[in-house]
Chain A
Amino acid sequence: AQSVTQLDSQVPVFEEAPVELRCNYSSSVSVYLFWYVQYPNQGLQLLLKYLSGSTLVKGINGFEAEFNKSQTSFHLRKPSVHISDTAEYFCAVTPYSSASKIIFGSGTRLSIRP
């Protein structure tokens, strides 16, 4: 079985400040890793995903994440946030064996202060 832990339910930051959203996972099998963003009253949008290769993954809107296998982490970062980044962010995994079945973390609400 797989599980995803997002340690921070809410992260408030000032505009143009850097941000890191933490994600740890647990799995007995190999998994792919994802970050999704959900803007208010909308569905989900894929920010980035790690399948293999370089552990630093760059996504849309200036976000990046680094896969750390030894720490089973996949933290999301952005060097300078904007008001428009205000949203809910979900870390997720999917096992190799069922690669469309996504297990989500509890989400982190990122709020940007002007």
Chain B
Amino acid sequence: GAVVSQHPSRVICKSGTSVKIECRSLDFQATTMFWYRQFPKQSLMLMATSNEGSKATYEQGVEKDKFLINHASLTLSTLTVTSAHPEDSSFYICSASDGQGARNTIYFGEGSWLTVV
């Protein structure tokens, strides 16, 4: 079945550096992907909607200059955390749908653990 893959699954970076997380739809095309953030023992918070070929739409309170999203193709969206700080340490998950509407299945990636030291 359709799969959404994230890479890397775990990454540790130094404070002040940037880190990129990839989200790929492996056997379907996704014009829209979503990025979520999950703090330990908390729920998933939608960060932004990634639109293929156009700018991402960010949720209120999410810094677009800090969390850069690029959706360069129908199967790949990337999230770059720029100038990372320890408070950015979190679990980041992406999702993609194989069509329009909730009647199509929404697939989630396995998630990426980011630790900023």
Contacts and interface: CB of A to CB of B under 8 A. Distances in A.
A10 B54 CA distance: 41
Contacts of B49: 101
Interface residues of B, number: 25
A51 B103 CA distance: 7
Nearest to B109: A43
A102 B106 CA distance: 9
B106 A43 contact: no
Size bracket of the A interface = 20 to 34
Interface string B89-110: 0000101110011110110111
A100 B105 CA distance: 9
Interface stretch (B12-20, B39-47, B67-75, B78-86): B39-47
Contacts of B106: 46, 100, 102
Interface of B: 6, 32, 34, 36, 41-46, 49, 93, 95-97, 100-103, 105-106, 108-111
